[in-house]
Amino acid sequence: MRTTLYALVDCSAFYCSCERVFRPDIAQRPVCVLSNNDGCVVSLTPEMKALGIRMGTPLFQIKDEIKKHKALVFSSNYSLYADMSRRVVQAIETFSDDVEQYSIDESFIAFGADDASIVSERERLQALAEDIYNTVLRETGIPVRVSIAETKTLAKVGSLYTKQLLKEGKIPCSVLWHHPEKQLILSTTPVSEVWGVGRALTEKLVHERVGTAAQLAALDSTSIRKRYGIVLEKTVHELNGICCIPLDEHLSDRKSIIRSRMFSKKLTDPSLICEAVIAHTVRSAEKLRSEKLLATQLTVYICTSRHVESRVYRSVSRALVLPTNDSFVLSALARTLFEECFIAHSPSGAVYRYSKAGIVLHELIPETAFTAPLFSGIQKEQPLLMAVLDKMNKKFGKNSVALASMGTPDTARKTAAGKSGARDWAMKREHMSPRYTTVWSELVRVKL
């Protein structure tokens, strides 16, 4: 009988690996990459982990450690990572047509395997996994881990196991299908590490003495459904080798576009915060147009830091009169919603210091699904104007043509506090590496 198996190809410390590809001199040094705004660590190498630094740690807490051990810190360079990700997928696609790119650093591949000759099939699959590992490394310079199993959830468990192999100095490739130690691997995997089990579920499960993947797999799926819902029921089936989450090859139809950023400093001046809201709206409208979509609903939100006691989170949503991807229409509505949303101080009179603003476009529909009704007031020149705007920004660089309400980088204005407030909401990126693969002027320089 033929069985379908899934291979998970997972890039190791992907963002750090991308930085290392172009900096062979740092191959052995501790490296980490920071989140937007240089906030906290989002990718780190084993050398960095060995210093006791964890994923999600804020930069300011580890500054001394970094100095002491001469560790390297990079701001996130998404142009570079997106391009490297594309190259990795290209390399993977030479092995199969059935590839799902699950995230920027992970892909699943579906394979058929022959049940009748399990021993030789296992050998063949192990060789295949190693072939994928070698190919991706050779073509892109990015080290991956490869794990093959009967379901995606089991492949995820196997991928954790390959980290163990890596520590033992072996090639990080494994085939969990009929693996002699499969039960042992499941019983040493904490339930919190299982794909689909997050913090809240872990707490509940551990309370019921379900601490490992093996114990979760042994539970009765019907009662799991009653108590925890359909999502965890699927996970239990998947751990038992029954596929419930098939390969998703087509690029899923996008349901929403979200855009938000922390400000580089706390803001109280509504005009500055509104600039950020408009800028997010314009960026998102560009994304809509590039994907030939229209939005039917817009949400604007602003909030203060999560880390203060008197946290405020305010949001206002509104449906658009007609579906649109027009920057002018969307930013006009965004401004209105922002004005409804903004409050300067608490009932007790304390001034709110806002740390973040964002917008969400939802209920997206394809451009082709909507024709503007007659007399709707939409002029046919409007999409044309947007197309020209997009073309110019593509050719001359982001924001060469922009809405004045987004604020201008070089016009210093006075904020309410009296300081120079130009683009105070813009992102901090102090440790940025060159965009080696996507911008001509930032190519690697070779000394002769």
Partner DNA sequence: TCTGGGGTCCTAGGACCC
Chain residues binding DNA by CB under 7 A are 35-37, 39-40, 42, 56, 58, 60, 102-106, 156, 194-202, 229-231, 252, 254-262, 266, 305-307, 315, 317, 319, 355-356, 358
Q: Which is nearer to DNA, 95 or 102 (CB)?
A: 102
| Least Å from the CB of residue 133 to DNA | 18
Cα 443 from Cα 430, distance rounded (Å)? 20
Q: Which is nearer to DNA, 32 or 113 (CB)?
A: 32
Tell me the CA end-to-end span of the chain in Å, nearest whole number. 59
Cα 312 from Cα 346, distance rounded (Å)? 9
| Least Å from the CB of residue 66 to DNA | 13
Neighbours of 214 (CB within 10 A): 18
Q: Which is nearer to DNA, 3 or 305 (CB)?
A: 305
| Least Å from the CB of residue 378 to DNA | 23
Residue 8 pairs with which residues in a beta bridge?
Answer: 108, 147
Q: Which is nearer to DNA, 78 or 396 (CB)?
A: 78
| Least Å from the CB of residue 98 to DNA | 19
| Least Å from the CB of residue 418 to DNA | 19
Cα 282 from Cα 390, distance rounded (Å)? 11
Contact criterion met (CB below 8 Å) for 366 and 293: yes
Name every residue whose Cβ is closer than 8 Å to that of residue 76 and which is 6 or more positions away in sequence: 15, 33, 34, 35, 36, 42, 429
Q: Which is nearer to DNA, 50 or 258 (CB)?
A: 258
Query: How would you classify the pairing of strands 173-175 and 293-304?
Result: unpaired
Cα 349 from Cα 373, distance rounded (Å)? 48
Neighbours of 416 (CB within 10 A): 14
Axis-axis angle for helices 221-228, 230-239 (nearest 10): 150
| Least Å from the CB of residue 86 to DNA | 15
Cα 99 from Cα 96, distance rounded (Å)? 7
Q: Which is nearer to DNA, 202 or 433 (CB)?
A: 202
| Least Å from the CB of residue 376 to DNA | 21
Q: Which is nearer to DNA, 199 or 207 (CB)?
A: 199
Q: Which is nearer to DNA, 70 or 250 (CB)?
A: 250
Cα 357 from Cα 277, distance rounded (Å)? 6
Query: DSSP state, 414?
Result: B
Cα 228 from Cα 210, distance rounded (Å)? 13
Q: Which is nearer to DNA, 128 or 194 (CB)?
A: 194
DSSP letters, 98-140, are -EEEEETTEEEEEEEEEGGGHHHHHHHHHHHHHHHHHHHHHHH
Q: Which is nearer to DNA, 209 or 306 (CB)?
A: 306
| Least Å from the CB of residue 54 to DNA | 11
Neighbours of 25 (CB within 10 A): 8
| Secondary element (H or E) of residue 9 | strand 2-11
* φ, ψ (nearest 5 deg) of residue 289: -65, -40
